[in-house]
């Protein structure tokens, strides 16, 4: 039986930091209220005209490919788990693939809020569990998680993991 394992991780967060103190000048709140209720001291904000989740994803995927030595042509699938896609259509995953020039893969988005990365991980590793790699080849699958800020509740950024195959030998039960 085939199994999957995480063989690499990478991430990206925007440079601009919005602190609770700065936020308290924009809305009726303060650092103590935010910290005691949600535990967040600061959040990262993606700035720039026309930027979106795909820009976070591009940087995280590029870093993952560099760290793991995987060539863009070896990528089969990109799953983007996001609560804030660039558009409803096309998928943010497709935009990331296009921006990186990856033509051999397909991509789709999963919107499952906080559970998004786990849901994407399940979807990305399912072919290995069935013993069927994506498109009939033993290729790499990339899973992306990309979230933009929701003022107080989430810390934004983009994290990515690489799922690969791992052989798992079958264990035989011994009956006494």
At 137-175, the pLDDT tens digits run 444 445 544 433 333 333 345 555 555 555 444 433 333
pLDDT given for residue 2 in this prediction: 59
Are residues 167 and 14 in contact, defined by beta-carbon separation less than 8 angstroms?
A: no
What is d(CA 154, CA 118) in angstroms, rounded to the nearest whole number?
16
pLDDT given for residue 169 in this prediction: 43
Core vs surface per residue 146-166: b (16+ CB within 10 A) or e:
bbbbeeeebebbbbbbbbbbe
Residue 61 host element (H or E): helix 53-68
What is d(CA 84, CA 32) in angstroms, rounded to the nearest whole number?
28
What is d(CA 96, CA 82) in angstroms, rounded to the nearest whole number?
13
Higher pLDDT, 19 or 116: 19
54 has pLDDT over 90:
yes
Higher pLDDT, 154 or 32: 32
At 59-72, the pLDDT tens digits run 999 999 999 898 88
86 has pLDDT over 90:
no
**Which of the four pLDDT bands, split at 50, 70 and 90, describes residue 36?**
very high
55 has pLDDT over 90:
yes
Question: Residue 144 forms beta bridges with which residues?
Answer: 80, 160
């Amino acid at each position: 039986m085939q199994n999957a394992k995480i063989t690499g991780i990478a991430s990206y967060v925007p440079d601009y930091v919005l602190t609770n103190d700065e936020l308290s000048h924009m809305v009726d709140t303060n650092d103590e209220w935010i910290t005691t209720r949600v535990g967040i001291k600061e959040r990262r904000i993606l700035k720039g005209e026309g930027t979106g989740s795909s820009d976070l994803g591009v940087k995280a995927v590029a870093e993952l490919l560099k760290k793991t030595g995987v060539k863009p042509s070896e990528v089969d699938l990109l799953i983007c788990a996001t609560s804030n896609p660039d558009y409803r259509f096309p998928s943010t995953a497709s935009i990331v693939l296009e921006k990186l020039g990856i033509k051999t893969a397909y991509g789709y988005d999963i919107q499952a809020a906080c559970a998004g990365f786990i849901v994407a991980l399940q979807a990305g590793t399912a072919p290995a569990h069935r013993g069927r790699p994506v498109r009939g080849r033993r290729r790499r699958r990339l899973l992306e998680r990309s979230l933009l800020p929701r003022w107080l509740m989430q810390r934004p950024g983009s994290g990515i993991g690489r799922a690969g195959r791992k052989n798992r030998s079958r264990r035989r039960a011994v009956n006494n």
